[in-house]
Amino acid sequence: MKNLKIGVFGTGRGAHIARNFMMAGCDIVAMCDLDEKRLKSGAAYVGGTPALYKDFDEFIQHDMDAVILANYFHEHAPFAIKCFERGIHVFSECISNGTMAEGVELIRAFEKSTSVYMLAENYPQMIFNREIKRICDSGTLGKILYAEGEYNHPGDAWNIDFKKEYCYFRKHWRNFLPRTYYITHSLGPVMNATGATPKKVTAFAAFAPVAGEAPVSSYVGDRAAIVTTQNDDGSIFRITGCAGFGAHHNAYRVCGTKGQIENLRGMGDKVMLRYNDWEMPEGAQEINCYEPSWNDRDEELIKKSGHGGGDYLTARMFVECIREGKQPPHPFDIHSAVAMSSTAILAHRSMLEGGKPYDIPDFRLEECRKQYENDRLSPFYLADGTPPTIPCCSHTDFEPSAEQLALFDKVLSE
């Protein structure tokens, strides 16, 4: 069986993803980035002799089976559509679409294509999240009623290396990222575990900007957005998007009518599985605290991979889908991806409107497409320099102080 030929667009994060495709038996044949320095360093990281491009339209003329889209967070959809038009398979970093209109366009283009599309969401594949899904699938928790997903990633305002690597100019997307938007690391795992999809969303913000002299460039003073969804199976999720409170952790909990399972904050990969004492499965204990096992044929490769093994497992899933001629399962498929992106976008609008509920559209339906096909509100600067058309923060007039911005400019120039 021939190795799949993979192209990489966005060679910072994309180069790291590419290494996992190489472990999965693929060849990296081409790479594209607008930044020549990143392009060359990405090529050196993957090794070999991939063709290098600075223009995406030239890049996708290259002979390849699939493209890893790892460009700017909110700019994946237009490039995915170009791949669909050429029958190229798409492995897209999250989120899938930066606006509601792009979600409509993405689905319409996908329906005309033969491409496999997969959201490159890796957190469901962490060992504790795989175990949570396994227990949910066993049915021993009863009917699932509630789940929590927290991706909590506080940052040091004086981490100069991070700023130079990840938000290196004032109009960079990370400096305008609403707290609800980076949602798939909190929402994806609970969708995967439960099989549910959000249908209605509401959100509130916790505002606490960085004070004092620090090299601050973010126009988002919120530390967290607490997002609540009502789902298609009647269950409820409470998720955070990307939060910055307390201590760093990735925490997930699923509760049913008979029991619950969660990973334990600050306890590595340990999970806690608990049942009501009158509803324990045969052979189980009321309280079960343990470290799950991979039970996977590729355990050694998984352990070499990033994000708790999730990077390799998502790459492997995508390769298998291409070889078997099928779309990936929920929540990695295109409809789940657009539902997650819609949840992120509309949760932010809910937050700006004091928690107003929003229905999550299903873009399989033409009436939903019509409702949003011209909705291009965005909190980000666009590639052509167009400024944001919706505030990125709950306090809509917030911005860093002149002193903070001047210090940011100074440390980046050093």
CATH numbers and ranges of domains, the chain: 5-122+314-324 (3.40.50.720), 123-298+334-372 (3.30.360.10)
pLDDT, residue 68, reads 98
Complete edge-to-edge strand list for the sheet that includes strand 198-207: 287-290, 271-275, 259-263, 249-256, 144-152, 236-243, 222-231, 198-207, 358-359
The residues with which 147 forms a beta bridge, in sequence order, are: 237, 254
In this prediction, residue 1 carries a pLDDT of 80
Give the pLDDT of residue 308: 93
Which tokens sit at 112?
Answer: 């005309």
Dump pLDDT digits (tens) for 82-100.
Answer: 999 999 999 999 899 999 9
> Token pair 């509630």 is at which residue?
146
Q: What is the dihedral of CA 78, 103, 388, 181, to 10 degrees?
A: -110
Structure confidence at residue 393 as a pLDDT band (50, 70, 90) = very high
User: Mean pLDDT across the stretch 28-35?
Assistant: 96
* pLDDT, tens only, 137-159: 999 999 999 999 999 999 999 99
Per-residue pLDDT reduced to its tens digit, 216-233: 999 999 999 999 999 999
Q: How confident is the prediction for the chain on average, in pLDDT?
A: 97
Residue 143: both structure tokens together: 């009917």
pLDDT confidence of residue 364 = 97
The confidence score (pLDDT) of residue 362 equals 98
Instruction: Give percent above pLDDT 70 in the chain.
Output: 100
Residue-wise pLDDT tens digits, 365-380: 999 999 999 999 999 9
For residue 288, which phi and psi values (nearest 5 degrees)?
-130, 110
Residue 293 has pLDDT above 90, yes or no: yes
| Whether the predicted pLDDT of 414 surpasses 90 | no
* Confidence class for position 28, pLDDT limits 50, 70, 90: very high
224: phi then psi, degrees, rounded to nearest 5? -160, 155
The pLDDT score that the predictor gives to residue 283 is 87
The residue among 291, 298, 336 whose CA lies nearest residue 94 is 336
Arithmetic mean of pLDDT, 320-345: 98
